[in-house]
Amino acid sequence: MSQRFDNDPEHWEVLESTYLHRRPWLTVRQDRVRLTSGRTIDDYYVQEFPHWVNVLAITEERHAVLIRQYRHGLGEVSWELPAGVLDEGESPLDGAKRELHEETGYSGGTWTPLMELSANPALQNNISYSFLAEGVSLSGMQHLDPTEEITVHLTPLDRLREIVFDGGMIQALHAAPVLKYFLQCD
C-alpha cells in the first residue's frame, strides 16, 4: 500500500486472537498483542469487514451517476457514489463494475483505479477501492438487494462539486475520490 521507511515502527506480535462476534455485517476480534517495546495490550479490538468498492461514474454527457439512500446509522438520506462489498474471490474492478450496474443500471466506459482508502486503519481490517469510470451509459435496470432502496441521479460535475463542498456527500470514503478527481482535473 504505502512506502516503507527504515525507521518505521515494527509490526505488533499477535499473541492470541479470539472472535467475540461473527456475523456477516459485524465481526469483532479481540487480539492480545506485544509491541516492539515489549509492552502487552491484552484487549485490542479489530472489526473485520470484506473489502469495499465505489465508483465515480461519468457519462459521455459529463454527468456523474450518483445515488441517494437512507443510512440508518445517521438516520439520514445523503448523496453517495455507487458502492458495495466485494464478493469472496472477486477482484476490486469486477466488484466495482457489478455494483455500478446493480445499483444504477449503468455500465461500460473506460475504467481506471482512482485510490485505495481505509475507513479506520486502527480498528478495521479492510480497504475501500475507488474507481473512475468515464463514458458509462445506461444498459439496463437496477438489480437491488432486498434491503436496498436507492434512487439514481445524473448530476452535472459542477453540481457534484457543490454537493461535496457543501457537505451533502457525508460518506468520507465517497467524498475523497471525488475530491481527488477534481484536484487532478483542475
Q: What are the pLDDT digits (tens) for 58-90? A: 999 999 999 999 999 999 999 999 999 999 999
Model confidence, pTM = 0.93
Does 106 lie in the same domain as 137? Answer: yes
**H-helix or E-strand containing 155?**
strand 150-156
Q: Which domain range does residue 126 map to?
A: 52-185
Residue 3 falls inside a structural domain: no
Nearest to 32 by CA among 47, 46, 50, 44: 44
Structural domain count, the chain = 2
In this structure, the strands spanning 83-85 and 52-59 are: antiparallel
Does 165 lie in the same domain as 88? Answer: yes
Does 142 lie in the same domain as 62? Answer: yes
Residue 1 scores a pLDDT above 60: no
CATH number of the domain enclosing 136: 3.90.79.10
Amino acid of residue 68? R
Query: Which pLDDT does position 25 carry in this prediction?
Result: 86
Nearest to 100 by CA among 155, 137, 50: 137
Query: Which pLDDT does position 181 carry in this prediction?
Result: 97
Q: Return the C-alpha cell found at 140.
A: 439496463
Does 175 lie in the same domain as 120? Answer: yes
CA torsion through residues 97, 100, 105, 111, sign: negative
Residue 32 falls inside a structural domain: yes
Does 57 lie in the same domain as 34? Answer: no
Residue 7 falls inside a structural domain: no
Does 149 lie in the same domain as 108? Answer: yes
Share of the chain above pLDDT 90, in %: 94
Does 151 lie in the same domain as 82? Answer: yes
Does 133 lie in the same domain as 77? Answer: yes
Query: Which pLDDT does position 156 carry in this prediction?
Result: 98
Residue 171 falls inside a structural domain: yes
Residue 6 falls inside a structural domain: no
Does 73 lie in the same domain as 20? Answer: no
Beta-strand runs (E) in 49-126: 52-59, 63-71, 76-80, 83-85, 106-107, 110-117
69: burial class by Cβ within 10 Å (0-12, 13-18, 19+)?
Answer: middle
Does 76 lie in the same domain as 151? Answer: yes
Rg of the chain (C-alpha set): 19
Query: Which pLDDT does position 24 carry in this prediction?
Result: 86
Residue 2 scores a pLDDT above 80: no
Measured CA to CA, the distance from residue 119 to residue 49 in angstroms comes to: 11
Does 86 lie in the same domain as 18? Answer: no
Does 150 lie in the same domain as 96? Answer: yes
